[in-house]
Structure 1
Amino acid sequence: MKAKILLIFLILLSFTVIGCVDEDKETPNETDMLNETTEEVVNETVTEDAGMNESVEEVAVDEEEDQKLEIVESEGPKTYTIYMEKFLTQPNNITINTGDTVIWFNRNDPTRLFTLVSNEDLWENTTIGYRLSFKYTFNETGTYTYKVLGWEERMKGTIIVK
């Protein structure tokens, strides 16, 4: 009896799966749609400016200019990252504003635990594992220094808060 129920269940499941799969319709992926749109724009440009290679080159230059990174300055607190890598802290000296946050990120290879120390006792000594981070928000102006225990000569820095 259980075998019959199992067989019926498997048959119904097969029909459900077959009903969900529609092999006749092929949905284009985003890359295909982007390529088609790009080809249309290029073809229109070439058709409009028949025989003028200069205008096609100008289109290519415009596309490159559109892809440049635009930096937008914003008001308010910012976040800065100090990377702990190759047994160095980079950048080791930074200037920030009051309310900004600094993140120390451990991406040292070979993997190693680092203990971050504030020379002004702003935070408790913090051990940062590989691919982990520690963040601190500076709310008062001043000059603050930090170091990594055992690597004080190579892994240290200064943070100036304006």
Structure 2
Amino acid sequence: MKNIKLISIILIILLFAFLGCVNPPAGTPTPTATPTVTETVQPTVVPTTPSPTPTPTPVSRKPLLYKSYVDQDYGFKRVIEANYTPFVYDNLTLNIHTGDTVMWINDATPDEKLTVVSEQNLWNESSGLLRWNYQFINYTFTQPGTYGVYVKEFPRLRHQKVIVNP
């Protein structure tokens, strides 16, 4: 029991010594703060050259082939993409991209001739003449814009609109 009291007293003395309750011995110098001198340096101006603005890299895409079937009853009744890539063909409007090709195919009754005409004169009438079933004309669109196509022999059939996006 005496050892516990002795250890307790030593711990209390050490605790007071570390907490600063015990005065430092005489003659021990206490540190004082010394002022420091700072030198002001003018920053050097380095001329900057403007960094070039990155140009976006165009996304490469393979040109697609669209087959537009034409007949004397419905006109431009259906369109398919040759590789079966999904697309929308609503209201006789075909949305494609520059570089894509449209092939118009005579799907009329046998021996029914049709002439596919471009409203913008992209090809001449003799090139658009499809004399027999499954004969075709194709055109690759290289410029963005909206183009109209119709069947010369059946002017009352609705025209097809081809919208070419960049």
1:147 paired with 2:134, answer no
| Counterpart residue type for residue 77 of structure 1 | P
The 8 Å contact of residues 72 and 154 in structure 2, kept in 1 or not, is answered as no
Structure 1, gaps ≥5 residues long: 1-73
What TM-score do you get using the length of structure 2 for normalisation? 0.50
Q: Specify which of 127, 130, 133 is matched with residue 128 of structure 1.
A: 130
In structure 2, the CA distance between the partners of 1:104 and 1:155, relative to structure 1 (3 Å rule), is farther
In the aligned structure 2, how far is the partner of 1:102 from the partner of 1:79?
6
In the aligned structure 2, how far is the partner of 1:155 from the partner of 1:143?
16
| Superposed displacement of residue 110, structure 1 | 4.4
In the aligned structure 2, how far is the partner of 1:152 from the partner of 1:86?
10
Match of 1:159 in 2: 162
In the aligned structure 2, how far is the partner of 1:149 from the partner of 1:110?
18
In the aligned structure 2, how far is the partner of 1:154 from the partner of 1:110?
19
| Superposed displacement of residue 90, structure 1 | 2.0
| Superposed displacement of residue 155, structure 1 | 5.0
Match of 1:138 in 2: 141
Asked which structure has the greater CA Rg, the reply is 2
Match of 1:75 in 2: 61
Match of 2:77 in 1: 90
Match of 2:114 in 1: 114
In the aligned structure 2, how far is the partner of 1:155 from the partner of 1:127?
18
Runs of 4+ in structure 1 over 6 Å off: none
| Counterpart residue type for residue 141 of structure 1 | P
| Superposed displacement of residue 111, structure 1 | 3.1
What TM-score do you get using the length of structure 1 for normalisation? 0.51
| Counterpart residue type for residue 146 of structure 2 | T
Question: Deviations 1:82-127 (Å, cap 9, x if unpaired)?
Answer: 1013522124320000000000000112431111111111111120
- CA-based RMSD of the aligned residues comes to 1.8
| Counterpart residue type for residue 134 of structure 2 | R
Aligned length: 89
Question: Deviations 1:47-88 (Å, cap 9, x if unpaired)?
Answer: xxxxxxxxxxxxxxxxxxxxxxxxxxx931000011013522
| Counterpart residue type for residue 121 of structure 2 | D
In the aligned structure 2, how far is the partner of 1:155 from the partner of 1:111?
22
In structure 2, the CA distance between the partners of 1:151 and 1:108, relative to structure 1 (3 Å rule), is same
